Amino acid sequence: MRRIAIVGGSLAGVHAAEALRQQGFEGDVTLISAENELPYDRPPLSKEALLSGVAMEKLSLRAPEWYADNAITTRLGNAAVQLDTERRTVLLDDGTAVDYDGLVIATGARARRLPSTRNAPPVQVLRSIEDSLRLRERLRPGQHLVLIGAGFIGLEIAATARQMDLDVTVVEVGRAPLSRALGDEVGDWFRALHARHGVEIVCTCTVETIERRGDGAVLTLSNGRVLNADVVVAGVGASPVTEWLDGSGVQTANGVVCHSDLSTSVPGVVAAGDVARWYNPLFDEEIRVEHWTNAVEQGRRAAHTLLGNGEAFGAVPYFWTDQYEARMRFVGRASAATEVAVKELNDDRLVALYGRDGLVRGAVCVNVPRELARYRTAIRDQVLWDDIAQAQSAIGG
């Protein structure tokens, strides 16, 4: 193996490149990115960067000289449009091709957009630096911001917008914010948190129509309510970037389908990060995780697999979100949980556990960092649900 191509200037892509060099790979490494900027960190885009402006030197994952020092060739502003696994080439949108012996797919995901209709006002999304800059230019104190979707990105934007003195309304189809990810009880806690900061969250409701009115928009909701908005943002999830793989032989289904070691259906091709849907032996299921820590760990593990040092990736997923004074940390899996135990619930702190098949599968902790490590260990060690969920919380005494 003399040439490795990494498609995706993402967190996973950078860590794959770094791991290749650390593992002693001395061949050519080419990092291909559809964006014009060097790879950057995305979590600040809905928080610090939106509030204070984009500082590229703070967002960049690695300094420009790091790529030269590690002999990593970058192809910026070039999207991959086709993969030929027989010839082992990646075709780019400028008509050129990059040859490879080994390939890392790290193209991540893109924000879903609402269907556009004629004369409809612009509905913003937030996924890239350009999105953050564009949205920040639109937000002004005293304006009314309407967010469609009360997931993590929507709630983070809502919290930032309140710091910028905007009026904020969030429209959510579920019973509570984050309820599809973390359940109704945790969702109700976040709804109350935002209410205390002046955000109205309208639940069990959809947007029926969006019409342009001047520089703003008028939204009609399924409950008959009409909202006048200066700015509209959709936070309705993200879709893995896999269309360029059509016809390549690389199996896709809500992401790139991977074995437990992140190898794909095609020899010499691995995947990592938001785009990878892999079999996690710890949870005995195929999952796709769109979170920072997972991208870092998978990028490194995919590089090891490509070099012949692969092993099953059975990590406990971890993610976080900071909203106002609330610092939420989550470990494990909450989806398909059959048991939920709330260990602590007040205005300042929250601890909830999730169980399935008699085991502890997930835990959410808000402003209780010391508890998180204990529950992460319990998930990793597959502790029985009854042994920990029924025990008195260490916080409670």
pLDDT digits (tens, 9 = 90+) for 172-219: 999 999 998 899 999 999 999 999 999 999 999 999 999 999 999 999
**Confidence class for position 265, pLDDT limits 50, 70, 90:** very high
- 166, two tokens: 């905007």
Q: Are residues 303 and 343 in the same domain?
A: no
The percentage of residues in the chain with a pLDDT greater than 90, rounded to a whole number, is: 90
Give yes or no for a contact between 274 and 105, defined as CB atoms under 8 angstroms apart: no
Q: Are residues 23 and 106 in the same domain?
A: yes
On whether residue 123 sits in a domain, the answer given is no
Look at the chain and report how many structural domains it folds into. 3
Distance CA 36, CA 75 (A): 9
Place of tokens 């993590």: 152
- Total-model pTM: 0.94
Q: Is the confidence at residue 163, as pLDDT, over 80? A: yes
Q: Of 234, 259, 291, which residue sits at a domain end?
A: 234
Give yes or no for a contact between 272 and 240, defined as CB atoms under 8 angstroms apart: no
Q: Is the confidence at residue 74, as pLDDT, over 70? A: yes
Distance CA 331, CA 360 (A): 11
Q: Is the confidence at residue 395, as pLDDT, over 50? A: no
Give yes or no for a contact between 301 and 250, defined as CB atoms under 8 angstroms apart: no
**Confidence class for position 316, pLDDT limits 50, 70, 90:** very high
105-122: pLDDT as tens digits: 999 999 999 987 777 888
Q: Which domain holds residue 227?
A: 129-234
Q: What angle do CA 69, 12, 54 make, to 5 degrees?
A: 80
Q: Is the confidence at residue 396, as pLDDT, over 70? A: no
The whole-number pLDDT of residue 397 equals 31
| Longest pairwise C-alpha distance within the chain | 65
Distance CA 262, CA 272 (A): 7
The whole-number pLDDT of residue 370 equals 87
Report the phi/psi class of residue 304: left, alpha or beta, with left for phi > 0 and alpha for psi in -120 to 50: alpha
> What is the helix (H) or strand (E) element at residue 137, kind and residue range?
helix 129-138
| Mean of the per-residue pLDDT values of the chain | 94
Q: Are residues 90 and 141 in the same domain?
A: no
The whole-number pLDDT of residue 391 equals 63
On whether residue 397 sits in a domain, the answer given is no
Q: Of 273, 307, 341, which residue sits at a domain end?
A: 307
Calculate mean pLDDT across residues 118-140: 92
On whether residue 380 sits in a domain, the answer given is yes
On whether residue 248 sits in a domain, the answer given is yes
**Confidence class for position 377, pLDDT limits 50, 70, 90:** very high
The percentage of residues in the chain with a pLDDT greater than 70, rounded to a whole number, is: 98
CATH number of residue 359's parent domain: 3.30.390.30
Beta-carbon count within 10 A of 392 CB: 8
- 161, two tokens: 């917008």
Q: Are residues 302 and 338 in the same domain?
A: no
CATH number of residue 52's parent domain: 3.50.50.60
On whether residue 95 sits in a domain, the answer given is yes
Q: Are residues 15 and 103 in the same domain?
A: yes
Q: Are residues 66 and 214 in the same domain?
A: no
On whether residue 77 sits in a domain, the answer given is yes
Q: Are residues 224 and 245 in the same domain?
A: no
Calculate mean pLDDT across residues 340-352: 92
Give yes or no for a contact between 39 and 33, defined as CB atoms under 8 angstroms apart: yes
Calculate mean pLDDT across residues 72-80: 98
Q: Are residues 216 and 353 in the same domain?
A: no
Q: Are residues 35 and 92 in the same domain?
A: yes
**Confidence class for position 354, pLDDT limits 50, 70, 90:** very high
Q: Are residues 246 and 99 in the same domain?
A: yes
Q: Are residues 8 and 104 in the same domain?
A: yes
User: Which is nearest to 123 in space by CA: 89, 100, 157?
Assistant: 157
The whole-number pLDDT of residue 392 equals 43
Calculate mean pLDDT across residues 160-173: 98
